[in-house]
Structure 1
Amino acid sequence: MSAYLITYDLNAPGQDYESLIERIKSYGTWANLMKSTWIVVSNTSADAVYTHLRGAMDDSGWLFVVDISGQDRQGWLTKDTWDWIRKHV
């Protein structure tokens, strides 16, 4: 299993965030770090995650997916978020 950081911008007004968020949550193991930043755990590739999520977006949006399964990390987040990261990433 790998942990993937997902970040996005839906640039056009009136975008359907709920469809994208439903696809993110469909991975089962997820954390919402910031408004448009998530981590999911999956046994697929970054390309597969990207393709799955991109289907919920139009061409004006931006999407970045990266494997973050390594142990070198730092940041200012809530204790609950760090506990989740330590458990799943």
Structure 2
Amino acid sequence: MGVLFQGAFWYRGNENVLLTFNQKEFPMSVYLITYDLNSPGQKHGKVLDKIKAFDAYAPLSESSYAVFSNSSAQAIYELFEPLIDDNDRLLVIPMHKPYYGFHRGDVIDWMSKHLPTCN
């Protein structure tokens, strides 16, 4: 599968947000991954490689990304855990509407399109 660049967001494969497993559909969630690597020998490149391996991701700031995944927040964190130590910080947070803030138009459009609404 090739990689399709669309605006500021990278997609791997198709852009469907439903996965099919054993003939059941599972919606994918959007998570915020935010981190600060504070230790000598920081592993920024390896962290970014893991982020870019998700089906879709969007850069929100220098060290914050939105990613699509059918995994839990804990499972996503565990992917990154070997890359961080006690001086580093990394959070995986489910994203949903409503949200408030100021950002580039393409980022706001992407979030409006992909984030679920939380009642």
TM-score (norm 2): 0.68
Q: Aligned residues, how many? A: 88
In the alignment, residue 73 of structure 1 is paired with which amino acid? Y
| Long gaps (5+) in structure 1 | none
Q: Which residue of 2 aligns with 1:78?
A: 104
- CA drift of 1:21 comes to 0.5
Q: Which residue of 2 aligns with 1:10?
A: 37
Among all aligned residue pairs of Structure 1 and Structure 2, give the percentage whose two residues are the same amino acid: 40
In the alignment, residue 82 of structure 1 is paired with which amino acid? I
- CA drift of 1:86 comes to 1.7
CA RMSD of aligned residues (A): 1.2
Q: Highest relative contact order (Cα 8 Å, sep 6+), 1 or 2? A: 1
Structure number with the higher strand fraction is: 2
Q: Which has the larger radius of gyration?
A: 2
Q: How does 1:59-70 map to 2 (within 5 A)?
A: 59-68=86-95, 70=96
Determine helix, strand or coil for the equivalent of 2:49: helix
Structure number with the higher helix fraction is: 1
Q: How does 1:19-58 map to 2 (within 5 A)?
A: 19-58=46-85
